[in-house]
């Protein structure tokens, strides 16, 4: 005798009755098979929905993370001030035409420095800044940006373009 194949409920009932003449056992097996198949479909559906939800959330999270470093053009044409007021770093201005300005108050005196900037490695967000210290000499610094957003960015400094400081400064946008 071949094993019964289940096609639909009536076929299962007929095949079950042929194998199990006791009607209660046949009906029990019928519902057991039906519920098992239903549960398998439900588990499969739940797994599919879970996978879809995971992929959707994962891709939306990765989009947020990818924009966390932001568009470098958000740096241009605005003054930025360092958010730590206890020991503030100089205010910075990056003109979109590669001009650079720095403003700092030293012993109550407002001092401005001018210079130029170029992207040394735009993918890594490393900018080379050459500024005139005001005494006829120039100083070269490298900035490595991260977390660039509409109103803030993080930056580390380097004097050689290779080794960046462990200190990360957070700069905020001013409306000035």
pLDDT in tens, 3-45: 555 455 555 545 545 555 555 555 555 544 555 566 566 666 5
113: tokens are 């420095």
Look at residue 93 in the predicted model and tell me its pLDDT: 95
Look at residue 137 in the predicted model and tell me its pLDDT: 75
Cα dihedral 47/52/56/57 (nearest 10): -10
Contacts of 4 (CB under 8 A, 6+ apart): 12, 15, 16, 18, 19
The beta-strand segments (E) located in 41-98 are 79-82, 91-94
The 8-class DSSP code of residue 2 comes to: P
Look at residue 69 in the predicted model and tell me its pLDDT: 64
Provide the 10 A C-beta neighbour count for residue 62: 10
pTM: 0.59
- Domain architecture of the chain: domains with CATH: 9-68 (no CATH), 72-173 (2.40.128.280)
């Amino acid at each position: 005798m071949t094993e019964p194949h289940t096609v639909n409920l009536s076929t299962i009932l007929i095949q079950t009755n042929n194998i199990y003449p006791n009607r209660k056992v046949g009906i029990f097996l019928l519902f057991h098979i039906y519920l098992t198949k239903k549960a398998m479909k439900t588990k499969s559906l739940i797994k599919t929905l879970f996978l879809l939800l995971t992929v959707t959330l994962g891709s939306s999270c990765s989009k947020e993370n990818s924009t966390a470093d932001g568009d470098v053009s958000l740096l241009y044409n605005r003054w930025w001030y360092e958010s730590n007021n206890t020991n503030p770093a100089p205010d910075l201005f990056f003109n979109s035409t590669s001009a650079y300005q720095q403003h700092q108050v030293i012993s109550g005196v407002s001092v401005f420095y001018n210079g130029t900037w170029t992207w040394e490695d735009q993918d890594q967000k490393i900018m080379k800044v050459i500024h005139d210290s005001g005494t006829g000499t120039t100083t070269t610094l490298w900035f490595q940006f991260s977390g660039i957003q509409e109103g803030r960015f993080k930056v580390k400094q380097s004097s050689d373009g290779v080794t960046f400081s462990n200190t990360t400064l957070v700069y905020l946008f001013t409306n000035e």
